[in-house]
């Protein structure tokens, strides 16, 4: 149980285009979803927290107009990188929490974004 | 701002050796988690420690939570090449705060 999927697993795009990444909880309802960014050989940095049906809360330094997050249902959150540039190339990982007492986050397999 | 200092950042050892990874903070966490991550994949939860002084064992891995719930350690006994990967600690304090990670390489 508690499986989180991400799509696509890899994406290559041209500079200036927008890319959408999906995060789905497959067998549970995710009241909260989190988006992280990870550079090579580095740790995960929280970008934003989203609760179903409400606006996402962004971490300091993360541009909300560049990284659009939508959490329209209890099983789906999307991250759209708008007007992507090479410096946006990174590994994007989502996680989902079912709001249980342990606040356990279940992580997706990640999406490798390469902006040319 | 809550920070988790993880050390060492890189560790290269021979098969059969023991190792310890440390995770330290000046902040108190309600719980602390350890993850292992393979290249190109998401982190996989190994263990969650909640109580100060708690020790949990997972085969050759021993996890300890400090008495004050500010620090934790991961000890691996008789490391094997299959243990190679990125180990991450993360403290729960309203949100997950990740340490910098320890890149472990176990050579046969």
Got the DSSP string for A34-91? EEEEE-TTS-EEEEEEEETTSPPEEPTT--TTTEEEEEEETTEEEEEE-S--GGG-EE
Q: From residue A13, how far is each of A3, B9, B20 by CA, in Å?
A: 28, 32, 41
Cβ neighbours of B20 (radius 10 Å):
14
Q: A102 or B102: which carries more pLDDT confidence?
A: B102
Q: Does B101 touch chain A (CB under 8 A)?
A: yes
pLDDT in tens, A47-98: 999 988 888 999 999 999 999 999 888 899 999 999 999 999 999 999 998 8
Answer whether B41 sits within 8 Å of A110, measured CB to CB.
Answer: yes
Distance, in angstroms, between A41 CA and closest chain B CA?
A: 8
Answer whether A93 sits within 8 Å of B42, measured CB to CB.
Answer: yes
Query: How much of chain B exceeds pLDDT 70, in percent?
Result: 98
Answer whether A107 sits within 8 Å of B44, measured CB to CB.
Answer: yes
Tell me the two tokens of residue B105.
């390489």
Q: A49 or A104: which carries more pLDDT confidence?
A: A49
Q: What are phi and psi of A86, to 5 degrees?
A: -55, -35
Q: Which among A43, A95, A109 has CB closest to B41?
A: A109
pLDDT of residue A55: 87
Confidence of residue B68 (pLDDT cuts 50, 70, 90): very high
CB B75 within 8 A of CB B65: no
**Distance in angstroms (rounded) separating the CA atoms of residues A114 and A34:** 21
Task: Give contacts of B 71-100 with A, CB under 8 A.
Answer: 86, 88, 90, 92, 95-96, 98-100
């Amino acid at each position: 149980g508690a499986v989180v999927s991400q799509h696509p697993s890899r994406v290559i795009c041209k500079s200036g285009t927008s890319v959408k990444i999906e995060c789905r909880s497959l067998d549970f309802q995710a009241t909260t979803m989190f988006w992280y960014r990870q550079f090579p050989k580095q740790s995960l940095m929280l970008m934003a927290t989203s609760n179903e049906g409400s606006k996402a809360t962004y971490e300091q330094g993360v541009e909300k107009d560049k990284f659009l997050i939508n959490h329209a249902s209890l099983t789906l959150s999307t991250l759209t990188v708008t007007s992507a540039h090479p410096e946006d190339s990174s590994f994007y990982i989502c996680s989902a929490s079912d709001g249980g007492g342990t606040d356990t986050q279940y992580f997706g397999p990640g999406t490798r974004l390469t902006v040319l | 701002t809550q920070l988790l200092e993880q050390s060492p950042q890189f560790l290269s050892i021979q098969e059969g050796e023991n190792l310890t990874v440390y995770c330290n903070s000046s902040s108190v966490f309600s719980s602390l988690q350890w993850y292992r991550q393979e290249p190109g994949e998401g982190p996989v939860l190994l263990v969650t420690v909640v109580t100060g002084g708690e020790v949990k064992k997972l085969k050759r891995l021993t996890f300890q939570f400090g008495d004050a719930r500010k620090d934790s350690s991961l000890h691996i006994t008789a490391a094997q090449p299959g243990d190679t990967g990125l180990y991450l600690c993360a403290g729960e304090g309203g949100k997950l705060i990740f340490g910098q990670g320890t890149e472990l390489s176990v050579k046969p």
